[in-house]
A and B are shown apart, each in its own frame.
Chain A
Amino acid sequence: AQSVTQLDSQVPVFEEAPVELRCNYSSSVSVYLFWYVQYPNQGLQLLLKYLSGSTLVESINGFEAEFNKSQTSFHLRKPSVHISDTAEYFCAGRGTSYGKLTFGQGTILTVHP
């Protein structure tokens, strides 16, 4: 069965500290991988995606994720977080031809001043 696992349900961190949100996937969803961010009472916003090519992908707001096939991981990192990064983050994979996304359970990132 396809699965995406986010290893931490909550990650508290202080402002300007680095952060890593962990995501592992089953091989059946490894075709395309995504990170989405959800702010309170809002829908999902695409943060970054891995489709092919370079295993390191970056977003415009400083996040990056690395596709690691041997460890079946797609961890999200940011070297220095801001208060505004407080949100819930979802890792998702797509492995079927008709485009179904399989989501992880989400990680709530809380940035403290």
Chain B
Amino acid sequence: ETGVTQSPTHLIKTRGQQVTLRCSSQSGHNTVSWYQQALGQGPQFIFQYYREEENGRGNFPPRFSGLQFPNYSSELNVNALELDDSALYLCASSYGTGNYGYTFGSGTRLTVV
């Protein structure tokens, strides 16, 4: 069992820039979700991909987009970064709809200055 790995672990970007965060799902998992965790808050659902298609989205603007690849790895892209985008971004993988639980990565800490 390889677990979920995310890269990079930390990142500093300037307001207005674009960023790509990466996630490698746990072996055997075909669903990946992304969450944003602001300081002192619980994680907020951004979106979910199942078999390379987005099948659920939270209350985030279109400048948050994603991809899932045939090997089930995933990317989160954020355009036109704002200061409020500073947060811990968590990737979670599961098999199917996650009835048996979700495995989270350690996250990418994004700071926008």
Q: A43-B90, A98-B56, A100-B48 are in contact. Are A106 and B102 (CB under 8 A)?
A: no
- Contact check, A104 vs B42: say whether CB atoms are below 8 A apart: yes
Chain A residues in 8 Å Cβ range of B101: 34, 46, 49
Pick the most buried of A45, A92, A97, A103: most chain B CB atoms within 10 A of its CB. Answer: A103
Report which A residues bind B (CB closer than 8 A): 4, 32, 34, 36, 42-46, 49, 51, 90, 92, 94, 96-106
Task: Count CB-based A-B contacts (< 8 Å).
Answer: 69
State the CA gap A32–B96 with chains docked (Å): 14
Kindly report which residue of chain A lies nearest to residue B106, judged by CB atoms: A43
The minimal Cβ–Cβ distance linking B52 to chain A, given in whole angstroms, is 15
Report which B residues bind A (CB closer than 8 A): 4, 6, 31, 33, 35, 40-45, 48, 50, 55-56, 58, 90, 92, 94, 97-107
The minimal Cβ–Cβ distance linking B40 to chain A, given in whole angstroms, is 8
